[in-house]
Homo-oligomer: A and B are copies of this chain.
Amino acid sequence: LSNVTSQTEQAPKASRKQRSDGERARKTILTAAVALATADGIEGLTIGHLAAASGMSKSGLYAHFGSKVELQLATVEEAAAVFDAEVVLPALAAPEGLDQLIIFCEGYFAHIARGGVPSGCFFAGAALELGAKPGPVKERVAAFQSSLIDHLRTFVTAAKQRGDLPETEETDTLAFEIGGFLLNGNTNFVLFGDPRALDVARKVVRRRLGLDPA
């Protein structure tokens, strides 16, 4: 979103129509960029590759993104916006506590399933890919991942306070465990190309939280 804002600031004389056309084109490009980066990695996301994959001209893409890093950062923002819309916001909107945990996890599995075999989770892939590549893109991915861990901790804390989970549960431990179930579900989905991997993960989550695994 910060990129949209700064672009708008750079072009204060653009009419509302021009601006909304530009924003629509930008959104179309970024949707293609997230799909490409999820499949081929974020380092493979050059303007040349995106032009080939999206059928847009390189010069058209350069009008939106001045550099590879700018394109990568905008792609991470778009992936984060989709993840927030599909996973985080529905959980935040749910009743505090166990409901939030369940809705977050169910939302995550649905988010992966929606991408189809074998795309998987953009952020899980980006985390491992960017390990050896320090810089603003890795920092942004790490910050998003940290925010997800914080959400899980907050949901666990609320669930304990409401009595949905035993007080003996350690918040950090349970948040880590659940994060691991999500990552393992994603890895099996991607590697074995099998949507049933998500059902297995879903059952493990529900059982761990003391719910009927069905």
Contact = CB atoms under 8 A, between A and B. Distances in A.
Interface string A185-210: 01100111100000011011001100
Contacts of A138: 191
What is the count of identical protomers in the complex? 2
B187 A183 contact: yes
A39 interface: yes
Interface in A137-179: 138, 141-142, 145-146, 172-173, 176-177, 179
A177 B180 contact: yes
Interface in A40-68: 40-41, 43-44
B141 A191 contact: yes
B127 A187 contact: yes
Contacts of A182: 180
B129 A120 contact: no
Contact of A180 (B142, B180, B191): B180
Contacts of A183: 180, 183-184, 187
B128 A173 contact: no
A124 interface: yes
A214 interface: no
Contact of A129 (B41, B119, B177, B180): B41
B118 A131 contact: yes
Nearest to A141: B191
A141, A176, A204: most-surrounded residue (chain B CB, <10 A): A176
Given A128-B186, A177-B180, A177-B204, 16 more contacts: A41-B129, A120-B128, A120-B131, A125-B128, A130-B191, A172-B200, A173-B203, A173-B204, A173-B207, A176-B201, A176-B204, A177-B177, A177-B208, A179-B184, A183-B183, A183-B184
